[in-house]
Structure 1
Amino acid sequence: MTQPIRRSFIKASAALLGALTLVAAAPWAHAADEAPDAMIRRLSVEVLDTIRSDKSLQSGDVARVMAVVDSKIMPNVNFRRMTASATGPGWRKATPDQQQKLQQEFKTLLVRTYAGALRQVSDQSIEVRPMRAADTDKEVMVRTLVRGKGEPVQLDYRMEKTPGQGAGWKIYDLNVAGIWLVDTYRPQFAQQINSNGIDGLVSSLVERNQTNAGAKN
């Protein structure tokens, strides 16, 4: 990640973790029929209270954050689509086993990158902006502003409505301070794939995650 992009992500990292953990406070029991902006608005207040009361989350405890991600967040995020978009054309050439490894290592990378940001969550509030969408739309963007100390941080969600079992709105990309998460990683992933193939990308993510884990210790 280039330094300007990294600075922007660090500046907004508390907002990003707030977004990713917004389902920690309550299950999306009415996700199938609740409007996406109403869902974000309802749960944002609850999750901020949860983060403030959970010392393990505030301290950036990676194991605790990962547990929350696995149990509460992943069911409400189309992480397969997110990983596939970041991987680009190479995703279609990957085996099911490679795809699974990519998803796991990418998730670990995101969690470890932003876990420490939860220390910054204190007096933040989230304002959901007016949404332009029709009732028949299957994909929407929910725009929010995270307000706290300093300038508000832009935080947008790309969401899709999924049918069948577990139907409801799911997040598949995030925009933090004008930078889309998928767009940030796609060129890095493409460079690795072009040089060393899918296995090379997986190996590079494993190495980065091991380095990040060592830095925390």
Structure 2
Amino acid sequence: MSSFVRRRSVLRLATGAAAIALTGPGLAVMASRQAAAEQDPAVQLVQRAADQGIEVARANAGAAREAGIRRVLESYFDLAYMGRSTLGSYWDKTTPEQRQRFLKASASVEARSYAERFGQYRGQTIAVGRITPRGNGVSVVDSKLTQNSGDPLSVQWEVRNEGQGPRIVDVRTEGVSMTMTRRADFVSYIRNHGGQVEALIDELEARAKR
């Protein structure tokens, strides 16, 4: 058998395998996996959070939008976990009173930040896709944001489930983590103010009142 004939035989086998994967049992398996992903609590959580966030941003502006987004965050996000993450190692250096003040002020800052983010998503849609388990109750839900112009944006949602139901703890747009960006900003501020967490808390409380 010539090499040309062998290549044609291999090509026919590969084409046949691809056809089987896209029809009959192969298609059924793909559909089953997609259906299972759609039923996953983390995927459903992300879809609800995204849909409600975009709707709040579409229907409101200013303080009303910020208040609406805060309700979305409180319903679907683990704000306490996010707050601890943004302080990094400085969290262990705070008093209980400082932690309470920090979490309250940082929640207001997060609501404003996410209100601005969801405001950019007005008139757009988010299609939630696959979920990837990362272990220790953590999973990442992929989604695509369809823009009015330009290519879709990749948005990933990190979800934690420690037995009390899933909660979102981070959102990454095109690979940029909001939680890690916030941590870098907060840690830099603390270091620039003599390592005093109190200085950051005072600043966040002032921002929350603006």
Is the structural similarity TM-score above 0.5? yes
Alignment of 1:22-171 (within 5 A): 34-41=40-47, 44-45=50-51, 48-49=54-55, 51-52=57-58, 54=59, 57=60, 59=61, 61-70=62-71, 72-116=72-116, 118-133=118-133, 138-149=137-148, 150-163=150-163, 167-171=164-168
- The one-letter code of the counterpart of 1:77 is F
Q: Any idea what the Cα deviations from partners look like across 1:65-88, whole Å, max 9, x if unmatched?
A: 225514x43143211111111101
Q: State the secondary structure of the residue aligned to 1:141.
A: strand
Bigger relative contact order, structure 1 or 2 (CA pairs below 8 A, ≥6 apart): 1
More helix by share: 2
Q: Match for 1:187 among 168, 184, 188?
A: 184
2:48 and 2:109 map into 1 onto residues whose CA distance is 28
What is the aligned-residue RMSD (CA, Å)?
2.8
2:119 and 2:75 map into 1 onto residues whose CA distance is 25
1:44 and 1:184 map into 2 onto residues whose CA distance is 20
Kept in 1: contact 2:128–2:143 (CA 8 A): yes
Indicate how the Cα distance of structure 1 residues 152 and 209 shifts in structure 2: closer, same or farther if over 3 A, else same. Answer: same
Give the structure 2 partner of residue 14 of structure 1: none
How big is the shift at 1:44? Answer: 4.1
Structure 1: gaps (5+ residues): 1-32
Q: State the secondary structure of the residue aligned to 2:132.
A: coil
Structure 2: gaps (5+ residues): 1-38
Indicate how the Cα distance of structure 1 residues 116 and 45 shifts in structure 2: closer, same or farther if over 3 A, else same. Answer: closer
- Number of aligned residue pairs: 169
Kept in 1: contact 2:73–2:79 (CA 8 A): no
TM-score (norm 1): 0.65
TM-score (norm 2): 0.67
1:99 and 1:190 map into 2 onto residues whose CA distance is 15
How big is the shift at 1:189? Answer: 1.6
Give the structure 2 partner of residue 15 of structure 1: none
1:132 and 1:118 map into 2 onto residues whose CA distance is 24
Greater Rg by CA: 2
Q: State the secondary structure of the residue aligned to 1:83.
A: helix
1:43 and 1:35 map into 2 onto residues whose CA distance is 12
Indicate how the Cα distance of structure 1 residues 124 and 202 shifts in structure 2: closer, same or farther if over 3 A, else same. Answer: same
